[in-house]
Structure formats: structure tokens, C-alpha cells
């Protein structure tokens, strides 16, 4: 809604969207509006009826994939005479442009077309693009859901397998073996107290982390580097 404020009887200040800000430069804005008249057509023409059927079919396909589009159609239909929209070819084309999210120029081309079959063709093209976009979004959503479900399933199976192996005494926890290896390696090294303190802190951190966690890999690599450096220093000193 726009607000017009009269000032000194001959000046009108226009307050509205940014797109119409240029009107502020003029004292009075006058527009000559002419309604475009749709050219005569035969509603029973087979091409027109085919276009209408296809548009309605695409409407249904998009609505099944995109709940927001379905709600938009419902809300728009409530504010319009739905029976007339789906029975009149020109109104159906305009309706398709109104509820679509295509390029502005494409939608404008639909509204400006005065030949009904051409208007329907352009509206169908806009809707087809909308359908392709909805199908792509649906596919991406399914792919993400499948990947998440697969990772969760793999995690639960690995945990179950780990528990079964422990119960049967077939295998000890891989993390416990790794920690034991680092402790054995450190036992043969004369670490300075500050280095030993860091080593023990990292060992405690590794014990609290899940093996699959990214931080566990970082901690494991750091402990490996730390013990390797200490071992290199010891060997260097002994070689002197």
C-alpha cells in the first residue's frame, strides 16, 4: 500500500518501495494506464485444451514435491475465483505465472502475451522449470537423508560388533592397544617433566574420545609425533 501526503495543495510526496523512489523528483506523477485485451480464442481448441491439461498436471506434480508451492497455490486459490481460473485459458496462464518463482522477465512475458496459446506455452515452460527445480531439491534432500541414515547404521553396527568381540574375548579395543603402545614407547624415553605432563594430558584426552572422532585422529598423530621426536633426541644424544 502506498501513502500520498499532500503538501501546500500542489505538491505530493510519494512514500513507497525503493523501486519507485524516482517519483520523489516530480511534483506530481501522472500515469496513463491501458489494459491489454486478450485476442479472441476458441476455448475448445485442441491445442489450448492440451496446454491447459498439461499445466494442471504439472501443478499437481510440483505440489507433491514442494509443500510450499502447494500452500501457495491453496492461498492464491482462496483469494481468486478458482473455478474460473482453471476453466479459462488466459486466467490459468496468469495464475501459473503468479504462483511461480521464475525469472521476472519470463513471468512478465507470460502476462504480456495477448495470444492465448502462446501465453499458455510460456506459462507451461515456466512451470516445467519449476518442476525440474522441485525434483532436484527433492533428490538432494533424499540423498542427504540416505547418507545420514547410512552413517548412523554403520556406526550402530560397528558398536554392536565391537561389543560382541569384547564379550567373546576375540579382540581388545583398538584404542586401548594404541594407548598401551604410546605408554610403552614413552616408558623407554627420559622425557623432561614439561614434555611428560603434555604426554599424559594427551593420553587422557585420547582415552575420552571416540576412535571415529576427528579430534581423536589429531591427538593420535600428535602423540605419535611427540614420542618420535623424543626418541630421535635420545638416539642423537647417545650417538654423541
Domain boundaries, the chain: 1-33, 38-171, 174-239
**Per-residue pLDDT tens for 177-190?**
888 888 888 887 77
- What DSSP character marks residue 4? E
Closest CA to 76 of 88, 91, 58: 91
3, β-bridge pairs = 15
In a 3-state reduction of DSSP, which class is residue 103? coil
In a 3-state reduction of DSSP, which class is residue 8? coil
**Per-residue pLDDT tens for 74-112?**
766 655 554 566 678 888 888 888 888 878 888 888 888
230, pLDDT greater than 70: yes
Task: Tell me the mean pLDDT in the region 34-60.
Answer: 86
Q: How confident is the model at residue 17 (pLDDT cuts 50, 70, 90)?
A: low
Question: Is 234 or 206 the better-scoring residue by pLDDT?
Answer: 206
CATH class of the 38-171 domain in this structure: mainly alpha
Distance CA 35, CA 78 (A): 25
Distance CA 84, CA 87 (A): 5
Distance CA 47, CA 24 (A): 48
**Per-residue pLDDT tens for 138-172?**
888 888 888 888 888 888 887 787 777 667 655 55
Closest CA to 233 of 205, 195, 182: 195
In this structure, are strands 11-15 and 3-7 parallel, antiparallel, or unpaired? antiparallel
Distance CA 98, CA 113 (A): 14
Distance CA 5, CA 12 (A): 6
Q: How confident is the model at residue 28 (pLDDT cuts 50, 70, 90)?
A: low
Task: Tell me the mean pLDDT in the region 2-21.
Answer: 45
* pLDDT at residue 121 in the model: 92
SS3 content of the chain, % helix, strand, coil (to 5): 70, 5, 25
Distance CA 111, CA 114 (A): 8
220, 185 contact by CB (below 8 A): no
Phi, psi at residue 64, to the nearest 5°?
-70, -30
Distance CA 117, CA 65 (A): 27
In a 3-state reduction of DSSP, which class is residue 111? helix
Amino acid at each position: 500500500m502506498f501513502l500520498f501526503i499532500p503538501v501546500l495543495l500542489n505538491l505530493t510526496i510519494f512514500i513507497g518501495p525503493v523501486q519507485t523512489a524516482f517519483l520523489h523528483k516530480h511534483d506530481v506523477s501522472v500515469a496513463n494506464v491501458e489494459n491489454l485485451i486478450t485476442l479472441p480464442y476458441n476455448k475448445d481448441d485442441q491445442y489450448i485444451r492440451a496446454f491447459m491439461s498439461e499445466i494442471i498436471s504439472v501443478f499437481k506434480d510440483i505440489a507433491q514435491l514442494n509443500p510450499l508451492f502447494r500452500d501457495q497455490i491453496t492461498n492464491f486459490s482462496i483469494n481468486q475465483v478458482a473455478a474460473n481460473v482453471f476453466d479459462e485459458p488466459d486466467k490459468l496462464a496468469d495464475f501459473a505465472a503468479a504462483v511461480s518463482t521464475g525469472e521476472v522477465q519470463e513471468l512478465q512475458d507470460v502476462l504480456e502475451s495477448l495470444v492465448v496459446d502462446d501465453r499458455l506455452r510460456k506459462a507451461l515452460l515456466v512451470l516445467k522449470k519449476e518442476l525440474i527445480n522441485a525434483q532436484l531439491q527433492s533428490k538432494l534432500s533424499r540423498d542427504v537423508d540416505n547418507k545420514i541414515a547410512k552413517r548412523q547404521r554403520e556406526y550402530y553396527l560397528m558398536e554392536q560388533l565391537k561389543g560382541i568381540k569384547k564379550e567373546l574375548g576375540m579382540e581388545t579395543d583398538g584404542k586401548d592397544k594404541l594407548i598401551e603402545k604410546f605408554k610403552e614407547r614413552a616408558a623407554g624415553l627420559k622425557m623432561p617433566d614439561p614434555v611428560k605432563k603434555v604426554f599424559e594430558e594427551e593420553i587422557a584426552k585420547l582415552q575420552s574420545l571416540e576412535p571415529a572422532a576427528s579430534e581423536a585422529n589429531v591427538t593420535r598423530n600428535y602423540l605419535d609425533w611427540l614420542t618420535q621426536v623424543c626418541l630421535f633426541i635420545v638416539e642423537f644424544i647417545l650417538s654423541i
